[in-house]
Amino acid sequence: MICSNLIAFCQSTTIVTGTVTDAGNRRPLSYVTVGFAGTTIGTTTDEKGQFRLATTNPAYTQIKATFIGYVTATFTVVPGKEQSLNIRLQPDNKQLSEVVIQSSKKKKYTNRDNPAVELIRKVIANKDKNRPESYNYLEYKGYERLNFSFINVSPAFSDKKLFKKYKFLLDNRDTTTVPGKNLLPIYLNERVYQYYYSKNPERKKTKVIGEKGVNFGSFIDSEGIGVYFKHLYQDVDIYANSTVLVTNEFLSPISDNAPGNYKFFITDTVVVDNTKLVQLSFTPRNTNDVLYEGSIFITLDGNYAVQKANLTINRRINLNWVKEMHINLDFAKNAQGKYVLSKSNTMADFGLSKTKDRGLFGQRYVSYQNYAFNIARPDTTYEGRNEITSDEVKHRSDDFWAQNRQDTLSKAQAQVYTNIDSLGRMQSFKRIVDIAQLFVFGYKGVGPFDIGPANAFYSFNPVEGFRLRLGGRTNIDFSKRVLLETYAAYGFKDQKWKYFLSGIWSFNKNSVYRFPQNYIRASFQRDTRIPGQELMFLREDNFLLSFKRGNNDKYIYNDDYRIDYVKEFSNHFSFSLGLRKLTQTPAGSLYFITRNNNIPNQVQNLTTSQASLQLRYAPHEEFYQGKIYRKAFINRYPIITLDYKAGFKNVLGGEYNYQDISLNIYKHFYLKKLGDADVWLEGGNTFGTVPYPLLNIHRANQTFAYDPISYNLMNFLEFVSDHYASINIDQHFHGLLFNRIPLFRKLKWREVASFKSLWGGVRNENDPSLHPSLYEFPKEANGAPITYSLGSKPYVEGSVGIENIFKVLRIDAVKRFNYLDHPNIADWGIRARVQFIF
């Protein structure tokens, strides 16, 4: 058990470990409360009856063990030393005799007539009035520290010849923060901020007044690392029904339906600052559920508020990379007599194996001071972006931090700033990071230019044959506001060059990709494309996508001229304006043919001139913000995207007038015991008479990679529509069934399932069989149709599968349920996907 409330720079620590057993049958006792007498420093025994306690206060010399049905036992310990204490609790004869009279079996836990459950129901009933948000206005000053360290790195490393130049870093050890762990700090970020809250209307504002973090140099985005790990360590609101930690939703022990998910035990009563508190210990009813275990201290002053909480994630849940996690919350009484959060300390051990003692230790410590309630500020205080910061706050003096840091850094933590700054300037470290970036991101830095991506250097397809590609992009050493990107490719079968040129100018001075984006982009691309292929997160010329099932020799050569302007706002609404000229030329076995009087007329190419507008709203969206890329985190809020396109005839060679509108709604659902689900709803309509390349060619996938947003058993170009609607559900069960099967539970496999359905069709004005001037739908050489419009029934496919195989692999068995009479289709198949998930 990781201890809390440590005093910095302490010279000695009292550590007590041991086992609690029944004095009669010698069996270990679980969930016994063991703590330093007269304090709130304590813990509960695990399933083996084991416990661990630590304190740096030499005044604490007694240990007390309490458990319902047993006589409380008190023992003396020696301060400042590590010692083992095995405790045997004597059954309380009076309580034991009552149990024996009722039944010879162990009394079954029940909520009925249970004083612990009655107490937790009172806590739940009083939640709203105990939350800080019960006030009309709220403000406080916060201090946040996020630090990461390697655990138990051997001191011998610094003496090895290979690592001698890094001795200054490897010898900076922290042995006081977590007793029993030798920490090597590698990352530290601190923030001081002022928080404002308004209830009606509900508005939140965080104004950063100071920020300080390590700097690895231009090779590693230190800020992006901090944002990513902070997302894993989200604020734990004990009064909220649930909190998302390490991408999993944990139900609070005082959630509305906590009595149905947790077992509660009254394990102690203490008096702190003349206030009587009851300690409630809790454990999951089902040890496979994503729940906490631990204890909370409840006031008995009529408010039933939480005064302290010690939470540990359930050890048995199916969770990758996390060995253990502890959340300690401390509350202080304000002038109104209510308890408000004063400290939050979240600590976690990350590692490839839960049994080894090495890995990564992360801590997020937050303290809160200077609470003020019901002080109305001007509306300008709450308006605008939820968080306000600037470059100025990153250059505060040492005096500022001495006055505003609400905690003391250990000697090793304070030294990490200097050490990492020195590390970032070392040429050997830069070379190591450069090689790592090539393997992880596929780019090799050469001064102000990054060459890549490596996985697109070589590919092959039926039209181009063997294809070589070389390209890259500028980085921030070239410019923060200008991003240039290019590549050239050559196909040895079609003997054609393909190339791409793009230039972006950012109106933000920080970075092109920094939120909120505000940039203009001009580009030209001459390359091949498969109609209907639109894979998630992957490039079409990725080498692994060269392997496809069935016949896939129907390509298009594109000449694509574009100008786009993108503007994001602080409320996460954004719009994009675009102008585009696109010339499409059929390649391979694809053709454009019209028929007049049944006489075929082959069309060489199709040119369109188009204006577009995209409106997007993604409330509370957060990003892992890299230097020249960014990745959005999943949250519980929907993402709504509206696209409008208009084609213009006789403008820059455009051949058709048309309008196209589509709406896409994506939402991630947290379903508690059922896991979580990604749901996409989409619909669209094309207005005007246009050939099939300008209709919606539905997303198909003939690769062997599972794609969540495409139809994995639909052939390329198989279906087109001028009006359509679809639903796509990707369900993750997180081991709902497998966790109850011994072998699967040990393998940590998890169940997944998907359902995809597409409705649509082609109206008469876009049916080439009724309008010979339109391009006829493609056919095979033998006259068999390739492209269809959806009929009265939808296209449906589904899958069941297993994910978390070796922690990174997902395999699905996919089934297609209709339109099985189409030629060259697969009605089922096995698809795989590599993914890194907790």
**pLDDT over threshold 90, residue 758:** yes
pLDDT value at residue 98: 31
DSSP state string for 233-280: T----TTSSEEEETTEEEE-TTSTTGGGTEEEEEEEEEEETTEEEEEE
- Which of residues 7 and 474 earns the better pLDDT score? 474
Q: How confident is the model at residue 484 (pLDDT cuts 50, 70, 90)?
A: very high
Strands 482-491 and 292-299: unpaired
pLDDT value at residue 373: 92
Provide the β-strand partners of residue 612: 578, 645
**pLDDT over threshold 80, residue 97:** no
Q: Tell me the mean pLDDT in the region 764-782.
A: 90
Provide the β-strand partners of residue 801: 752, 812
d(CA 597, CA 603): 16
pLDDT value at residue 584: 95
- Which of residues 628 and 132 earns the better pLDDT score? 132
pLDDT value at residue 453: 85
Q: How confident is the model at residue 476 (pLDDT cuts 50, 70, 90)?
A: confident
pLDDT value at residue 542: 61
**pLDDT over threshold 90, residue 566:** yes
**pLDDT over threshold 70, residue 537:** no
What are the pLDDT digits (tens) for 568-595?
998 899 999 999 999 999 998 898 999 8
Tokens standing for residue 327: 């959340």
What are the pLDDT digits (tens) for 308-362?
999 998 777 887 788 888 899 999 988 888 899 999 999 888 877 766 778 888 8
Instruction: Report whether 708 contacts 754 (CB < 8 A).
Output: yes
**pLDDT over threshold 60, residue 554:** yes
Q: Tell me the mean pLDDT in the region 598-604.
A: 86
pLDDT value at residue 96: 30
| 81 three-state secondary structure | coil
What are the pLDDT digits (tens) for 282-312?
999 887 788 899 999 999 888 899 999 999 9
Question: How many CB atoms within 10 Å of residue 664?
Answer: 17
Q: Tell me the mean pLDDT in the region 176-190.
A: 83
Q: Tell me the mean pLDDT in the region 425-452.
A: 81
In eight-state DSSP terms, residue 711 is B
**pLDDT over threshold 80, residue 233:** no
- Among 179-183, 222-226, 509-513, 750-754, name the one with the lowest average pLDDT: 222-226
pLDDT value at residue 92: 64
Q: What is the pLDDT of the chain when averaged over all its residues?
A: 86
**Helix, strand, coil fractions of the chain, as percent rounded to 5:** 15, 45, 40
| 51 three-state secondary structure | strand
**pLDDT over threshold 50, residue 19:** yes
pLDDT value at residue 663: 97
**pLDDT over threshold 60, residue 469:** yes
**pLDDT over threshold 90, residue 692:** yes
d(CA 165, CA 837): 35
Q: How confident is the model at residue 673 (pLDDT cuts 50, 70, 90)?
A: confident
The percent of residues above 70 in pLDDT, for the chain, comes to: 92
pLDDT value at residue 107: 65
Q: How confident is the model at residue 538 (pLDDT cuts 50, 70, 90)?
A: very low
pLDDT value at residue 5: 35
Q: How confident is the model at residue 599 (pLDDT cuts 50, 70, 90)?
A: confident
For residue 406, CA distances in Å to 68, 174, 178, 499 come to 39, 20, 19, 55
Dihedral class, residue 453 (left if φ above 0, else alpha if ψ from -120 to 50, else beta): beta
- pTM: predicted TM-score of the whole model, two decimal places: 0.79
Listed residue (116, 129, 127, 124) closest to 279, CA to CA? 116
- Among 104-108, 167-171, 392-396, 427-431, name the one with the lowest average pLDDT: 104-108
**pLDDT over threshold 60, residue 539:** no
Q: Tell me the mean pLDDT in the region 209-226.
A: 77
Question: How many CB atoms within 10 Å of residue 725?
Answer: 16
- Which of residues 600 and 793 earns the better pLDDT score? 793
Q: How confident is the model at residue 10 (pLDDT cuts 50, 70, 90)?
A: very low
- Among 12-21, 61-70, 122-131, name the one with the lowest average pLDDT: 61-70
- Which of residues 369 and 441 earns the better pLDDT score? 369
pLDDT value at residue 1: 34
- The answer to whether the Cα torsion of 113, 118, 119, 120 is positive or negative is positive
pLDDT value at residue 99: 32
**Per residue in 563-588, is it b (16+ CB within 10 Å) or e — as a string?**
ebebebeeebebebebebbbbbbbbb
Q: Tell me the mean pLDDT in the region 231-252.
A: 85
pLDDT value at residue 543: 55
Q: Tell me the mean pLDDT in the region 56-65.
A: 84
Q: Tell me the mean pLDDT in the region 383-405.
A: 88
pLDDT value at residue 40: 61
Q: How confident is the model at residue 544 (pLDDT cuts 50, 70, 90)?
A: low
**pLDDT over threshold 90, residue 34:** no
Instruction: Report whether 92 contacts 73 (CB < 8 A).
Output: no
pLDDT value at residue 94: 40
- Which of residues 430 and 751 earns the better pLDDT score? 751
